[in-house]
Chains A and B, each alone.
Chain A
Amino acid sequence: MADKELLLEFKDVNTYYGDLHVLKNVNYTIGKGEIVCLLGGNASGKSTTMKTIMGVVRPQTGSVTFDGKVIGNMPTSERVKLGIAPVLEARRLFPRMTVFENLEIGAYTQPRGPQFDQDLERVYSLFPRVKERRTQLAGTLSGGEQQMVAIGRALMARPRLICMDEPSMGLSPRFVETVFDTIQEINRQGCSIFMVEQNANMALSIAHRAYVLQTGVVVLSGTAAELRENDMIKQAYLGEMQVEGAAA
């Protein structure tokens, strides 16, 4: 981490929903070019972390900086312009708009020009299926195809950081692998990834580093390799793998 330039930083961040204290003195860093994964159970504050990055939830205290700029109170649209794009939980495409229109909305903060066509080509070459389906309504696609569009939609914003909320949720095991391959490919092309994921096994296999969040507190952090060997992680998140291993 020390050799990587800082892209996103949470410093002692506290967020509240009314009286409910969600994130408690949370610190994260994401370096340029990194894949960082956030593990945690239900109601641990993972989605709140995503919403805090996107500016849907504002931190009460503490600071959020992106590429050296304090963004804690910046409206979401400004953050997207700076280069933060989300892949939302359950994909959240605009179901009654075409695939192409969904991609256009992804590029909402970008000027329409040769750059748009270039970004579109990039998405189409990454996902030929998306190109085939471009005139279809997004709501009619399969879950896997929708996930491709959701990732493509994020890419259209020319992001430097993509925040992914449960990218494997509801996908067939075979397709999960495709999605994770794509995430690695996008990362190789220079985009940092911050990912909330239930599938800890998969996530740790592609992430550089990871944080573990429990009821709003970061209880563990380290490189993905370290965390894979950690007993607590093995028990809490990689349990299934061990059972499978024992059975075999």
Chain B
Amino acid sequence: MTAFDLFLQQAINGLSLGAMYSLLALGFTLVYGIMELINFSHFNVFMVGCMIAMVTLKLFGLNGQDTILTGLPLIGVMLVGFFVTMTLCGGIGVFIERLLLRPLRAVKGPAPMITTIGVSYVLFNIILLTIGGDSKNFPNPLPPIAFNIGGAVLRLREILIWIIAVLLMGGLTYFVQYTKLGKAIRATAQDQEAARMMGIEVDRVIMSAFFIGSALAGASGMIFGLYYNLAKVDIGFGAGLRAFTAAVLGGIGNVPGAMLGGVLIGLIESSSGQFLGSAWSDVVIFSILVLVLVLKPAGLLGRLAPNKS
């Protein structure tokens, strides 16, 4: 492999990781943008999403990488898998918001954030006690189709991950930009009290942000499983921390920023893994984060303080 091939290969890998981090980062950024809350339960909603996807695919009789599907059955299984995972994860997000965070709405200080950490551990332990702590083989029905681009290999699974990520992020952008609820979400994020006085039901807006963010975390969890062929109870922390870093890097509260941040973190992780050794990935990722925050505290696309006037 030439240096260029290596570079290309790591760009392919990085974009796939980036797709996963971007989808996960969007949940952090949506909730933070509206409530200024760092939702730590998001880490493990992602992990639960990976588990739900695994169970759903197994219900189709898929086991490990033995069963290969093509054509319509493959598309159908993937659609159902993503749909079930995203809906259930969105439901978990709504549950967390409605039952655990809404009663704390008037409470100032770190209580809601601490609650999300607690919820994160509850989710972790539920999975630990029901599914177990060992590494599971995530069903992957994709045929082993691969294209050689120079010396680099582009597999079908990467193309699939990109298509799904682009569809979801395009859909989200359209939703936030052009629909009535999407505009209400933006208005609420910019000035919650003014939004309320315009007749926007702020509680409903917050709940939709949790649903959407958690559903995207579910999609991200399923992508994790398809990419690594594994599901494990502790995957939430590594991926969640990187996605959170991505949200901060792009400018937390900023939707395009989370997408950009996720892709950058993915590319940084894969290329530093290739050229410095994977042990160095985290060092590089978090050094870049610190550097960006020192030079541009609001993140790449963020604004420092919301302009209220």
Contact = CB atoms under 8 A, between A and B. Distances in A.
Interface of A: 54, 56, 75-77, 79-81, 86, 88, 90-97, 101, 104-106, 108-109, 112, 139, 146, 153, 157
Contacts of A104: 180, 183
Contacts of B306: 95
B184 A105 contact: yes
A52 B230 CA distance: 56
Contacts of B307: 95-96, 139
Contacts of B195: 94, 105
A92 B194 contact: yes
B196 A105 contact: no
Contacts, number: 73
A77 B201 contact: yes
A95 B190 contact: yes
B interface, size bucket: 20 to 34
A56 B183 contact: no
Closest CB pairs A-B (n = 4): A80-B199, A109-B199, A92-B194, A77-B199
A108 B309 contact: no
A56 B186 contact: no
Nearest to A163: B197
Could you tell me the dominant secondary structure of chain B's interface residues?
helix
Contacts of A106: 198
26 contacts: A56-B197, A76-B197, A77-B199, A77-B200, A80-B199, A86-B197, A88-B197, A90-B309, A92-B193, A92-B308, A94-B190, A94-B194, A94-B195, A95-B190, A96-B186, A97-B186, A104-B180, A104-B183, A105-B183, A105-B184, A105-B187, A108-B180, A109-B198, A139-B307, A146-B309, A153-B198
B198 A97 contact: no
A75 B200 CA distance: 10
B183 A97 contact: yes
A104 B183 CA distance: 9
B5 interface: no
A230 B198 CA distance: 37
Contacts of B191: 92, 94
Contact of A94 (B180, B186, B201): B186
Which of A77, A109, A112, A157 lies at the interface centre, i.e. has the most chain B CB atoms within 10 A of its CB? A77
B194 A81 contact: no
